[in-house]
Amino acid sequence: NAPPSPPPVKTTCPYCGVGCGVLARPDGFGGAQVKGDPDHPANFGRLCSKGSALGETLSLDGRLLHPMMRNGEGELVRAAWDDALDRVANGFTETVARHGPESVAFYASGQLLTEDYYVANKLMKGFIGSGNIDTNSRLCMASSVAGHRRAFGSDTVPGCYEDLDEADLLVLVGSNAAWCHPILHQRMAKNRRERGARMVVIDPRATPTSDEADLLLQIAPGMDSVLFCGLFAYLADKGALDRAFLRDHTAGYAEGLARARHIAPDIDAVAERCEVPREQIETFFSWFAETDRAVTLYSQGVNQSAQGTDKVNAIINCHLATGRIGKPGTGPFSLTGQPNAMGGREVGGLANQLAAHMDFEPESIARMRRFWNAPNVAERPGLKAVELFEAVAQGRIKALWIMATNPVVSLPRADAVQSALRQLDLLVVSDVVSGTDTMMASPHVVLPAAGWGEKDGTVTNSERRISRQRAFLPQAGEAKPDWWIVSEVAKRMGFADAFDYASPADIFREHAALTGFENDGTRDLDASGLAALSDDDYARCDPVQWPIVKAGTDGGKRLFASGGFFTADRRARFVAVADPKLAATPGRLLPLLLNTGRVRDQWHTMTRTGKSPRLGAHIGEPYVAIHPKDAETYDIAHGGFARISTLHGSAVLRAEVSEAQRRGEIFAPIHWSAATASDARIGALVQRSYDPVSGQPEMKATQATIAPV
Ligand code: SF4
């Protein structure tokens, strides 16, 4: 008789910010059978194509299995862990001693678990004494963070996924959720089908998401703020305001409305600037005005913009004006891209915040000193991603550690990033896979990290829900969890007492304790109810939403229905947004705008999803989409090859002629790289402009041209 198979391990999908629960059962051959966890409140057993193919991505092909160091001849050769860790620790210590703490930096990733992020942030901001730890989440949701902080006084998502089931109007802005957040899109489509909720999509492109919508506003790039300023003014004109909420819980209404009227004086002006028929604008405005249960979801079309923070606040203004926040079926809702973008920002992964959502204010810095017993806490924000890599190019950053991300593919002006990395005195790359484009940028030390299924920790999804990732496979080769790697380096730098962690549970307890440390209720992120978890409790921990001020409670389904914002006077702020203007407009030589994004079945730079033939069958090669009239103008044939060029680079792609594109705009997905396809790194074509508040780069509107190949 065959022995009974062990029960499946409950874990969390490592791809998008939906954070679906997964049941994984090792198959005995190094892989696993994977299905959705019916008990997880994010997905109730469903998985999208990427999640259901996770078991096909676990092979050791391409895995980084042991540390490596560059030798005297410049070759990367296998090294012992002790030697590699010593080299990293000595390199950072010597650089700090010679050039000061701001000459070093970490560039982390929304792929890291909260515990990994916590120790990396603690080492950089607490003990090295620099704010220079930023993350690829800067490319993902930094504008949402900044918009939340301006409006609410804190980086707080007010609602939860149940709101998507209970809304009567679902407005998706700059979001192809059908491909990028499929399980949430399925929930919304079900609501539309079964409850009759209306769905409005606002996007320059027609997408699979708009295929299911009641209304598509195919607006001109960058004009989202004009649209939502127009909506704000319309709501005021029609008396569709929540006067009591405005009076009791907000400030800045008059200034915000005056600016909105200035930017969008009437519907005709909105229609003209958005380049959308007036009737469509009027339909959207009237639906919003008459529907109490309205949720506005937004994603990278809003965030990845040189006006991203203003776009977020223009949306939030409309929800504050109508009091549609924190109540069932209402709210502005940021769809986070990555599995742990939220967890990373909770523990200080962004250069402009301390841990536990604290700012660089004197009392917060002092609190961090007391909590960590760290005399050297950074006293000012560090460099945000784009600036950070420019500081590398300028020689101001001399030692850099890149963790679990591939900036030579993903950052704007990626070729410049690649050149800058070669100038570093010390480049450390820790990752799960070898052979990435970043790995080819001459690192001095390469460290193998444990992958999904091999490590333990937590992630926080888009609705503030903390879920466990659990190990169910042995660690590959000599790979180690990121928290262990960072802690070992910290010990070798002389900080042994502060980094003496035996397990991720130790780190999580410390993080939870910090959220409640000297917290008088004026800080949003309170997970202190989890600070006393035993190792067994941590191992069992069910998905839970913060704030959790009392153990055993799920304290944070919705916030702000009755005010209680985290500003000094507990009132939300209307923001008087700026009149939007694209960072770069098309010209004679570069007459088009390049928009970038994702496809349904690939994730980031394809280091995992690229292993699944099933996923590759959906869209198997890089492409550029172009409107038929533009294709005619530029002599581009459907299915032929085309070269797209910008001021920063060029790529040869298969042409897809499609009515889904607006005229004057082309679209190319971001996933392919030199490691997966020649000449198709779209990041290398993207401009450097970024939002002045959030630092998030504009990745949706780069001047470009196209020619047949
Ligand atoms: Fe994973 Fe996102 Fe798909 Fe859920 S929706 S299975 S979290 S990729």
pLDDT at 538: 95
pLDDT band for position 394 (50/70/90)? Answer: very high
φ and ψ at residue 115, rounded to 5 degrees: -65, -40
**Helical (H) or strand (E) element with 390:** helix 385-393
- 437: helix, strand or coil: coil
The closest alpha carbon to 455, from 339, 300, 294, 313, belongs to: 339
**Helical (H) or strand (E) element with 417:** helix 414-421
pLDDT at 677: 66
pLDDT at 2: 59
22, 23, 40, 48: residue to mutate for ligand 1 pocket, most atoms within 8 A of CB? 48
Would the pLDDT of 531 be above 90? yes
- Span from the CA of 337 to the centroid of ligand 1 (angstroms): 10
Given a contact cutoff of 8 angstroms between Cβ atoms, the answer to whether 569 and 251 are in contact is: yes
Which atom of ligand 1 sits closest to the CA of residue 22?
6
Separation CA 25–CA 54 (nearest Å):
12
Q: Which residues contact 167 (CB under 8 A, 6 or more apart)?
A: 191, 197, 293, 294, 295, 329, 330
pLDDT at 690: 96
pLDDT at 3: 62
pLDDT at 601: 93
Q: Is any atom of ligand 1 closer than 6 Å to the C-beta of 184?
A: no
The sign one gets for the Cα dihedral 330, 597, 460, 411 is: negative
Q: Say if residue 375 is preceded by a cis peptide, omega within 30 of 0.
A: no
Average pLDDT over residues 313-339: 95
Question: What's the token pair of residue 516?
Answer: 């409640």
Using N-to-C axis directions, what is the helix angle for 308-322 and 224-237, rounded to 10°? 20
Domains (range + CATH), the chain: 9-57 (3.30.200.210), 68-140+340-545 (3.40.50.740), 142-335 (3.40.228.10), 592-708 (2.40.40.20)
- Span from the CA of 414 to the centroid of ligand 1 (angstroms): 27
> Per DSSP, which regions of 508-622 are E strands?
544-545, 572-573, 592-597
- Span from the CA of 477 to the centroid of ligand 1 (angstroms): 28
Per the model's pLDDT, the better-predicted residue between 548 and 324 turns out to be: 324
| pLDDT tens readout for residues 45-56 | 999 999 999 999
pLDDT at 113: 97
Question: What's the token pair of residue 147?
Answer: 């918009």
Report yes or no on whether pTM surpasses 0.95.
yes
Would the pLDDT of 122 be above 90? yes
pLDDT at 555: 62
Q: Which residues contact 2 (CB under 8 A, 6 or more apart)?
A: none
Given a contact cutoff of 8 angstroms between Cβ atoms, the answer to whether 181 and 175 are in contact is: yes
Q: Is any atom of ligand 1 closer than 6 Å to the C-beta of 17?
A: no
Q: Is any atom of ligand 1 closer than 6 Å to the C-beta of 609?
A: no
Average pLDDT, the chain: 95
Average pLDDT over residues 363-371: 97
| pLDDT tens readout for residues 455-501 | 999 999 999 999 999 999 999 999 999 999 999 999 999 999 999 99
- Span from the CA of 10 to the centroid of ligand 1 (angstroms): 15
Separation CA 314–CA 280 (nearest Å):
19
pLDDT band for position 675 (50/70/90)? Answer: confident
Distance between start and end Cα atoms, the chain: 62
Written as one letter, the residue type at 466 is I
Q: Is any atom of ligand 1 closer than 6 Å to the C-beta of 492?
A: no
For tokens 């930094």, name the residue: 142
pLDDT at 21: 98
Question: What's the token pair of residue 543?
Answer: 């998905």
Separation CA 585–CA 288 (nearest Å):
31
Give me the interface pTM, i.e. the ipTM: 1.00
Helical ranges in 176-297 per DSSP H: 177-180, 182-195, 208-211, 224-237, 243-249, 253-263, 267-274, 278-290
CA 361 to chain centre: 25
With 0-12 / 13-18 / 19 or more C-beta atoms within 10 angstroms meaning exposed / middle / buried, residue 419 is: middle
Separation CA 231–CA 321 (nearest Å):
10
Separation CA 84–CA 120 (nearest Å):
17
Helical ranges in 549-635 per DSSP H: 613-616, 628-634
Separation CA 462–CA 46 (nearest Å):
17
pLDDT band for position 556 (50/70/90)? Answer: confident
| pLDDT tens readout for residues 197-246 | 999 999 999 999 999 999 999 999 999 999 999 999 999 999 999 999 99
With 0-12 / 13-18 / 19 or more C-beta atoms within 10 angstroms meaning exposed / middle / buried, residue 73 is: exposed
pLDDT at 105: 98
- Span from the CA of 22 to the centroid of ligand 1 (angstroms): 9
The closest alpha carbon to 610, from 680, 682, 672, belongs to: 672
Given a contact cutoff of 8 angstroms between Cβ atoms, the answer to whether 511 and 347 are in contact is: yes
User: Half-sphere exposure (CA, 13 Å, Cβ side) for 603?
Assistant: 26
Whose alpha carbon is nearest atom 4 of ligand 1?
20
**Helical (H) or strand (E) element with 316:** helix 308-322
Which atom of ligand 1 sits closest to the CA of residue 16?
2
- Span from the CA of 535 to the centroid of ligand 1 (angstroms): 28
- Span from the CA of 52 to the centroid of ligand 1 (angstroms): 9
40, 46, 47, 338: residue to mutate for ligand 1 pocket, most atoms within 8 A of CB? 47
Would the pLDDT of 440 be above 80? yes
Per the model's pLDDT, the better-predicted residue between 595 and 7 turns out to be: 595
Would the pLDDT of 163 be above 80? yes
Neighbouring C-beta atoms of residue 225, cutoff 10 Å: 27
- Span from the CA of 183 to the centroid of ligand 1 (angstroms): 6
φ and ψ at residue 242, rounded to 5 degrees: -100, 90
- Span from the CA of 335 to the centroid of ligand 1 (angstroms): 12
pLDDT at 341: 73
- 366: helix, strand or coil: helix
Q: CA dist 82 to 485, 563, 613, Å?
A: 11, 53, 38
CA angle 524, 332, 661 (to 5 degrees): 135
Given a contact cutoff of 8 angstroms between Cβ atoms, the answer to whether 661 and 621 are in contact is: no
Separation CA 328–CA 10 (nearest Å):
29
pLDDT at 554: 61
- Span from the CA of 629 to the centroid of ligand 1 (angstroms): 36
Neighbouring C-beta atoms of residue 619, cutoff 10 Å: 16
Which atom of ligand 1 sits closest to the CA of residue 19?
7
Average pLDDT over residues 327-346: 91
Say what percent of the chain tops pLDDT 70. 99
Q: Is any atom of ligand 1 closer than 6 Å to the C-beta of 16?
A: yes
Given a contact cutoff of 8 angstroms between Cβ atoms, the answer to whether 625 and 667 are in contact is: yes
The sign one gets for the Cα dihedral 253, 256, 257, 258 is: positive
Separation CA 260–CA 244 (nearest Å):
21
Strands 641-645 and 544-545 turn out to be: unpaired
Say what percent of the chain tops pLDDT 90. 91
Q: Is any atom of ligand 1 closer than 6 Å to the C-beta of 13?
A: yes
Q: Is any atom of ligand 1 closer than 6 Å to the C-beta of 15?
A: yes
Which atom of ligand 1 sits closest to the CA of residue 36?
6
18, 111, 336: residue to mutate for ligand 1 pocket, most atoms within 8 A of CB? 18
Written as one letter, the residue type at 182 is P
Residues in a beta bridge with 468: 458
Which atom of ligand 1 sits closest to the CA of residue 51?
6
Judged by average pLDDT, the poorest of 35-44, 373-382, 542-551 is 542-551
Separation CA 615–CA 440 (nearest Å):
26
Q: CA dist 384 to 177, 343, 350, 522, 683, Å?
A: 27, 18, 8, 26, 17
| pLDDT tens readout for residues 415-438 | 999 999 999 999 999 999 998 999
**Length of the chain measured in residues:** 709
| pLDDT tens readout for residues 614-629 | 999 999 999 999 999 9
Whose alpha carbon is nearest atom 3 of ligand 1?
48
Given a contact cutoff of 8 angstroms between Cβ atoms, the answer to whether 107 and 407 are in contact is: yes
Average pLDDT over residues 314-328: 98
For tokens 């990745």, name the residue: 699
Would the pLDDT of 553 be above 80? no
22, 181, 461: residue to mutate for ligand 1 pocket, most atoms within 8 A of CB? 181
- Span from the CA of 135 to the centroid of ligand 1 (angstroms): 21
pLDDT band for position 674 (50/70/90)? Answer: confident
DSSP 122: I
Q: Is any atom of ligand 1 closer than 6 Å to the C-beta of 18?
A: yes
Given a contact cutoff of 8 angstroms between Cβ atoms, the answer to whether 62 and 607 are in contact is: yes
Separation CA 516–CA 478 (nearest Å):
37
Would the pLDDT of 678 be above 80? no
| pLDDT tens readout for residues 174-184 | 999 999 999 99
Would the pLDDT of 310 be above 90? yes
Which atom of ligand 1 sits closest to the CA of residue 603?
8
Which atom of ligand 1 sits closest to the CA of residue 183?
5
